[in-house]
Amino acid sequence: MLAELSPKLNIGVLLKPTLQYIQHPVDIIRSYDRSNLRPDLIAGLTVAVILLPQGIAFALIAELPPQMGLYAAIIGAIFGGLWGSSNQMHTGPANAISLLVYSTLSGLYAVGSPEYIIAAGMMALMVGLFQLAMGLARLGILINFVSHSVIVGFATGAGILIAVKQLKALFGLDFPGDTIVNTVTGTIIHFPESHIQTAVIGLSTIIFVIVLKRINPKIPSALLAIVFSSIIVYIFQLDEAGVAVIGKLSGQLPPITPLPIFNFKLIAELSQGALAIGAIGLVEAAAIARSISTQTGQRLESNQEFVGQGMANAACGIFSGFPVAGSFSRSAINFDAGARTPLASVFSAIFVLFAMLVIAPLARYIPTAALSGVLIVTAFNMINQEEIKRIWQGAPGDAAIMLLTLFGTLFLSLEFAVLLGILLSFALYVLRTSTPRVQAVVPDSGFRHFVYDPSRNPCPQLLIIEILGDLYFGAVGYVEDTILNLLEQNPTQRFLMLRMHSVDHIDFSGIHMLENLVRSYRDRGGDLFMVRVSYSVRKVMESTDFIEYLGEKNILSDDEAIRVLFHHRLDPAICIYECPHRVFMECQNLPKRMDLVSIRFTDAQDPICSMIEPHALWAAISHGNGERPFIVDVREPREFSQGHVPNALSVPLANILSNEWQIPPTQQITLVCRSGRRSRRAAIALNKKGVNTIQILEGGMAAWEAAGLLEAVEF
What Cα–Cα distance (Å) separates residue 375 from each residue in 53, 205, 379, 572, 638? Answer: 10, 10, 6, 76, 83
Question: Looking at residue 245, what DSSP letter applies?
Answer: B
Buried b vs exposed e over 1-24: b needs ≥16 C-beta within 10 Å? eeeeeeeeeeeeeeeeeeeebeeb
For 198, residues 6+ apart whose C-beta sits below 8 A from its C-beta are 169, 170, 171, 172, 242, 243, 244, 367, 369
Torsion region of 133: left, alpha or beta (phi above 0 gives left; psi -120 to 50 gives alpha): alpha
From the DSSP assignment, how many helices (H) and strands (E) are in the chain?
30, 14
Q: Are 59 and 72 in contact (CB under 8 A)?
A: yes
Pairing of strands 442-443, 450-451: antiparallel
The DSSP-derived string for 197-221 is HHHHHHHHHHHHHHHHHHH-TTS-H
Q: Is 444 helix (H, G, I), strand (E, B) or coil?
A: coil
Q: Check if 579 is active-site.
A: no
Active-site residue, selected from the candidate residues 579, 587, 609, 673:
673
Q: What number of other Cβ atoms are within 10 A of residue 636's Cβ?
A: 22
End-to-end CA distance of the chain: 76
For 475, residues 6+ apart whose C-beta sits below 8 A from its C-beta are 433, 434, 435, 436, 469, 510
Which contiguous run of DSSP H or E holds residue 314? helix 302-318
Q: Is 325 helix (H, G, I), strand (E, B) or coil?
A: strand
688 residue type, one letter = K
Active site residues: 673
